[in-house]
Chains A and B, each alone.
Chain A
């Protein structure tokens, strides 16, 4: 019977393993452990590892890049054959740690490519049902008090392969990786709303981007007042082009399609525009044949990122279950893990600090006995929302919801140590 261990126990038992892994460098799970078993090989490796002490290293660089040995940690791209700028790229969640997604690995969803926006000519326009139609240049925006927040952004269509009849046999990031977490710094939109004088009858704002799809969506003014951020910086530097340079809307906890990149226009109005991205797309068809519309908040969700599909365990022993949890409603209150397909659960440790509408990194020590196991995690948020089982999600929302899939994900560990995606 495989068991979860107290974290402190794991730390003692796992000490030897983690030291050996560190010495061997970042090797795949199984490889690191087979290296551990071969003392002679370790000796050779140490000697190679010391070679760098006997020659001069590389010079300085103006902008640092990932190690040349990490070239395989990339976004996988899925785009339209005829319109190469329409599609997605996935964050490789299985290769990452902590809660901040490296900026260059933040997922992308573009409708017609990444526009080239000249910051010198950029203006944000506010018009419609306002007392004072206004335009703002970047220098003006940078004069407002700024706010920084760690916020996850998840595409409304993330994980929709969960609706497939058969479980997708791909690494976790390649079908759950339309979610990323960054520190966003920008101007609380509230300041600008007051300045323009929004008509009390204006309940909606239509946000439009400068991309070649002129992507437009409707956003309740109440959300803009509550916590919307006009983001100028991501993880300390100005936005990357593919994340909305020079300005994007950040709406904490809401589906990504609302968080308009290359934001240049907000029209205030008393009705939604009913754009394609809030009618034909990004609406959730229910078994009744009716569809839910304007369901903005991303529900509680968690994923085990290690071990996960495509990875291989070595010898039976103690492993750390590692994963991510988040909720668009607020903070992650609890993450539980199971090694028996959800029959029994243990509470996972969450690295602090736990922040609202932000990734939480969870960990649990698991002693694998070498027999088949099914690993699962489930998240609960501070509003009492619990991540559903796949069976429950399908029972409530049918087969054609397509958006906002947040069911529990299962990884089967076989006795040979291979890990694959299953429905359990």
Chain B
């Protein structure tokens, strides 16, 4: 850049100087701030390799989209639960320093309504999504797909929503209809 041009920029009012950054025009014809925001800013996004997305923790949707491949059993889940979860959620899932995961008294219209996985949660996929991304708190994101399905099979079986000896995989988990599936009034859309 020539000395002459630098001198010209320095003499500009600060607002005009700032707007230069977003201008496609030459430096000698800066846009007013309002004009610069109305025009399209320089695109700064770089192409995202969609292959790299598969390495991220997936968002798991109620229709089963995002569920990992795998298979689990409640009896394995019981062992995992005692190792990773019981300390905070209670040895029988009754709740301790973290909320209970097993049981819950209805109805939800009661004065002291009990909002639990069994009584309140509308989707079983929320369970695996939550465990996969955030549990256990000391080392989240390390459970394998089989371990995740085993934990879900255990918790859902203990809640009476799954047969204890039946293997659970993505298809089975997505097909579970939770008791409070229709208990929500959506304010959006």
Contacts and interface: CB of A to CB of B under 8 A. Distances in A.
A208 B58 CA distance: 10
B178 to A, nearest CB: 10
Interface in A69-109: 80-83, 85-86
A132 B108 contact: no
A137 B46 CA distance: 9
B20 to A, nearest CB: 12
Contact of B48 (A133, A141, A276, A399): A133
A257 to B, nearest CB: 14
Given A132-B45, A289-B113, A214 B57 contact: yes
B63 A271 contact: yes
Interface residues on B, range: 35 or more
Nearest to B41: A144
Contact of B126 (A133, A140, A220, A276): A276
B122 A288 contact: no
A274 B113 contact: no
A136 B44 contact: yes
A212 B133 CA distance: 8
Interface string B50-92: 1001001101111100000000000000000000000110000
A265 B52 CA distance: 13
B13 interface: no
Interface stretch (A187-195, A383-391, A405-413): A187-195
Interface of A: 80-83, 85-86, 111-112, 125-127, 132-137, 140-141, 143-145, 191-192, 194-196, 203, 206, 208, 212-216, 220, 265, 267, 269, 271, 273-276, 279-280, 283, 285-296, 399-400
8 contacts: A126-B48, A145-B41, A208-B59, A212-B137, A265-B56, A273-B59, A279-B120, A400-B115
Interface of B: 21-22, 36-37, 40-48, 50, 53, 56-57, 59-63, 87-88, 97-98, 107-109, 111-113, 115, 117, 120-123, 125-126, 129-130, 133-134, 137-138, 140-141, 183-189
